[in-house]
Structure 1
Amino acid sequence: MTRTRRTHTRWWSAAGTLAAAALATVAITTPAGAGTAADEPAAAPISTRIVGGEYASTSEYPWVVYLTDSAGNQFCGGTIAAANKVITAAHCVTGGAPPEITVVSGRDDKNSDEGTETAVRDVWVHPDFQNASSGADVAVLTLDRDVTATPLPIATAGDLPEYRPGGATTVLGWGTTTEGGSPSSTLRQAHPPITSDQDCSRAYGGQYDPRGQVCAGLPGGGEDSCQGDSGGPLVAGDKLIGIVSWGNGCARPGQPGVYTRLGAYHDEVQAQLR
């Protein structure tokens, strides 16, 4: 059973408060496995941050951000794609998403008060989205004011070299560093290579759709995103080519992470960035 890489929290609306229970955070790992389909029950252990990765900084990657709920709990990642726009995964902002979302930019350590906190005033979810494993796992957040960070360009349908098997990538997030571990307090990065469609289909069968998804991971595992990294960026060629979406566990051999193939949704997403 697959899992999304979003960190799940539970709200008690009767009390009107958010109770902290982080059940699954997305993270970046060094093996090739990822999380499960959005909000499905999971048999696999869950992880909280990038696995097999290393420390990263928003000074090098100024466009990477994380999302928090009204209590300040980080639950997903995202990418600044325009002055007041952030791209994330649709499963981060649907089906139990917090009613209030804040985007945190320029903050390497979640325990610090560096950077900027910006409220979200509007959410666009791709109209074809049903759940993470079925594709179209992309959303665009409109912020209530501009941020100063330089946006990251998004891939187009013609950017085929960035999706070639074996190509180098960078995935970033504040999620778990091991399956079943705890979320990272600091931003981390990993570099899982692009997996061929054939290998990803062998791993996930009919759940994997190469038209709107792409996989990344090492055959033997060890580098991957994980719970808490959902919505975060997969980057190649200085472009946003993917969004952390789902997978089977984290950094497992033969189980690469599955990402939204952003080039397939370029036109719809670009229309939201204007």
Structure 2
Amino acid sequence: MDTTSTRKNTEEGMIMAETLRRLRSWLGLVVAAVLLPVAGVSAAAADPGATIVGGTRASTAQYPWVVYLATTSGYQYCGGTLVAPNKVLTAAHCTEDDVASSVLVVAGRDDKNSSAGTAARVTRIWIHPSFSSVTRGYDVSVLTLDRNLTQATLPVATAADANLYTAGTSTTILGWGTTRAGGQPSRYLLRASVPVTGDQTCSAGYGSQYKPQHMVCAGLPQGGVDTCQGDSGGPLVAGGKLIGVTSFGEGCASARYPGVYARVSSYETEIRQQLAS
């Protein structure tokens, strides 16, 4: 059964309107079925020792630019990357239909149960105008914050960084998402290393859903290490630059199905326009 889906968390108990909005986003996928939402799991219920599909504990002290998106009630549902003091790059499917005032960006907080770091409000949401579903590409969004954060920012990949997309390039993935498909979200920030996957290999798994001009894949042939639900919008990093934004996948950490990421360098012009706005 086709289980290709976005990598965004949902929360049981959220108001019906928000639930329906997220379901409309998922139904836009050109797939036969999607993963059931990871519902009813709070950060407090997550296993503190769990690792995200082969990952290990990480710290925002080492990765200061990694942030997460949360509802005003504090529920974490996506990730993001601080690319300017008041700008966060995330996935379009994370913010589609969102109202800016309903989104918080949390920086400098490893443990979702703590009050460390900063929770900034979002004042503006930009979504790539060509975005319609994750399998069509353009899955990028820029959030403008209500303040400048003090955390270090991460440079975005440009057209001059083509070498960072070479198959076999080592990358770092980060997030607070689920520890397996259909499992519990992590209470803590986790990281893992996966190599960039060649376009031919990725196309063999995803067929026409994979569009190399808009996407890049990263993962192990045998699976076992990957991003998962709740990691959508988070970073794929290589060479000290943001080269990808977590987008979708077939399950999580499945053999022959690496994670699929928005290819940041393809959207350099649009992103830089948003950073300058």
The question of whether the paired residues in 2 share the 8 Å contact of 1:4 and 1:37 is answered with no
Compared CA separation, residues 120 and 97, structure 1 to 2 (3 A):
closer
Cα distance in 1 for residues equivalent to 2:198 and 2:212: 9
Could you tell me which residue of structure 2 aligns to residue 69 of structure 1?
71
Could you tell me which residue of structure 1 aligns to residue 47 of structure 2?
none
Compared CA separation, residues 197 and 209, structure 1 to 2 (3 A):
same
Q: 1:158 aligns with which of 122, 138, 160?
A: 160
Could you tell me which residue of structure 1 aligns to residue 172 of structure 2?
170
Could you tell me which residue of structure 2 aligns to residue 227 of structure 1?
229
Cα distance in 1 for residues equivalent to 2:100 and 2:30: 14
Cα distance in 2 for residues equivalent to 1:206 and 1:214: 14
Could you tell me which residue of structure 2 aligns to residue 26 of structure 1?
none
How far did 1:160 drift?
A: 1.0
Identify unmatched segments of 5+ residues in structure 1: 24-34
How far did 1:209 drift?
A: 0.2
Q: 1:240 is paired with a residue of what secondary structure? A: strand
TM-score (norm 2): 0.87
Number of aligned residue pairs:
257
Cα distance in 2 for residues equivalent to 1:111 and 1:186: 9
Q: 1:121 aligns with which of 113, 120, 123?
A: 123
Cα distance in 2 for residues equivalent to 1:237 and 1:215: 16
Identify unmatched segments of 5+ residues in structure 2: 42-50
In terms of fraction of residues, the more helix-rich structure is 2
Could you tell me which residue of structure 2 aligns to residue 4 of structure 1?
6
TM-score (norm 1): 0.88
Could you tell me which residue of structure 1 aligns to residue 138 of structure 2?
136
Could you tell me which residue of structure 2 aligns to residue 32 of structure 1?
none
Compared CA separation, residues 99 and 163, structure 1 to 2 (3 A):
same
Q: 1:42 aligns with which of 14, 22, 33?
A: 33
The question of whether the paired residues in 1 share the 8 Å contact of 2:79 and 2:175 is answered with yes
Q: 1:111 aligns with which of 90, 107, 113?
A: 113
The question of whether the paired residues in 1 share the 8 Å contact of 2:124 and 2:145 is answered with yes
Identity of aligned residues (%): 51
Could you tell me which residue of structure 2 aligns to residue 93 of structure 1?
95
Kindly provide the amino acid, as one letter, of the partner of residue 170 in structure 1: T
How far did 1:137 drift?
A: 0.1
Kindly provide the amino acid, as one letter, of the partner of residue 16 in structure 2: W
Cα distance in 1 for residues equivalent to 2:54 and 2:37: 15
How far did 1:45 drift?
A: 6.3
How far did 1:12 drift?
A: 2.9
CA RMSD in angstroms, aligned pairs only: 2.4
Could you tell me which residue of structure 2 aligns to residue 205 of structure 1?
207
Kindly provide the amino acid, as one letter, of the partner of residue 65 in structure 1: V
Cα distance in 2 for residues equivalent to 1:175 and 1:53: 11
